Structure 1
């Protein structure tokens, strides 16, 4: 059974060649902008990546996935919030493969089944038509074509419980985590930036309390979980990029915020 694409042609191109062209354009900008920086050589254990349309958030997501590839993980666990289905806890991708425009990614069913013996992971099939996780997969297919993936979609749950799962996942050096989130939605630019700075500060300082001072990330539970796991495991945060939809559209009246970050040993 395959996890079929549900937002190809909407959030990202349905044609592989178009995705490859976009990634090449993003990297051309990165290589020029960060020529004198060490950012592109870091080796993260986990990243935070946005999940809007690639036209808006693709650049921000790309830098996170590009540096994640430096770590060459055996498997990547992609964790994102459910936007369309009410869900309690976590649903796991109990499929055999994950479809992308550039070919399928293998799903590590065996590892997911082992993980589900330690944590309460259900299977709610309709929860997996989820863009927050799916938008990460073409990047993974590009940078880590032979890695195995697991998709975890969460709903109403305690971030401490998700943090414990992240800790266990990251205790295995073969694993990496992608936390998917966008930031504030549809505020004027200046208001959005003020709210989003609470999200960035929370990650930079590994301070979950800061999330409650104004951060309106749709994946705030996941962000809190990776902050708690990073603290427990001694990982250090690096903010990679921040921008809003206004950077692409020019419309500052109602914007969405995007952040990418990395957690390194």
Structure 2
């Protein structure tokens, strides 16, 4: 089956030329990475925002620029299920995801393996039918990676710590078997005043950089930080740690208010790599 794009023309441009231009604009934007050269280091995974490109694209490009020379065969993308449809945690098989930049194949063998490995991950296309959290990452990957790669999409309706541990361990098992990049798709604080969003997110990013998943969940709950993909972040943090990462590094942080100028009600975006 072909998983057709559901937010092309909304979250990002619907035609190839406009989409390529938009990604280039995001890279060169004052909140984007520009032409900076990348360090030669092992990167186990990244965190990227998933809002409309005009808001979060410049920040997202920092993470993608960091992995642009890594040539992964497989990209495992985890994100939250905003619509709550389908299973608690789902991947899919025998599918290609379509974007204006072409088709990307799902690694069916890896999907089958991870469903067997995890107590919670099920194979279910319907869970993936409406959401943008994984879809918006794919054109960025197509644009920034020079090689052909497959994806393993994992969408989380249940984002509990227990679930993140199970999913994170299963992701690490799959990642060991081939050259893999792991992506957590999440925005940070939602619809708060700009300076408050900055301080909330600073508190939450700290345990991410320390790779302390329990502390991350504690801060999330105590401060009521409205990061939507916290389960994806938790899972990726656990997987990267298991694979050998020792710390996270904040590449860029901005809010929609910083980018667009309206600071009364903003959404926070962070780009982080695990090394």
- What SS does structure 2 have at the residue aligned with 1:161? helix
Alignment partners' CA distance in 2, 1:241 and 1:95: 36
Match of 2:232 among 201, 219, 222: 222
Alignment partners' CA distance in 2, 1:29 and 1:72: 25
Q: Offset at 1:222?
A: 1.5
Alignment partners' CA distance in 1, 2:16 and 2:30: 21
Is residue 159 from structure 1 mapped to residue 164 from structure 2 by the alignment?
A: yes
8 A contact 2:168–2:236 mirrored in 1: yes
Q: Which region of structure 1 is more displaced relative to structure 2, 66-75 or 208-217?
A: 208-217
Alignment partners' CA distance in 1, 2:227 and 2:204: 7
Alignment partners' CA distance in 2, 1:211 and 1:202: 9
1:201 — aligned with what? 206
2:218 — aligned with what? 212
- TM-score, structure 2 as length reference: 0.87
2:268 — aligned with what? 257
Aligned length: 263
Q: Offset at 1:232?
A: 2.8
- Coordinate RMSD, CA, aligned: 2.2
- TM-score, structure 1 as length reference: 0.91
Q: Offset at 1:29?
A: 4.6
Unpaired runs of 5+ residues, structure 2, are: none
8 A contact 1:40–1:66 mirrored in 2: no
Alignment partners' CA distance in 1, 2:248 and 2:165: 19
Q: Offset at 1:150?
A: 1.6
Q: List structure 1 runs of 4+ shifted beyond 4 angstroms.
A: 29-35, 37-43
- What SS does structure 2 have at the residue aligned with 1:114? helix
8 A contact 2:48–2:186 mirrored in 1: yes
Q: Which region of structure 1 is more displaced relative to structure 2, 119-128 or 172-181?
A: 119-128
Q: Offset at 1:30?
A: 7.5
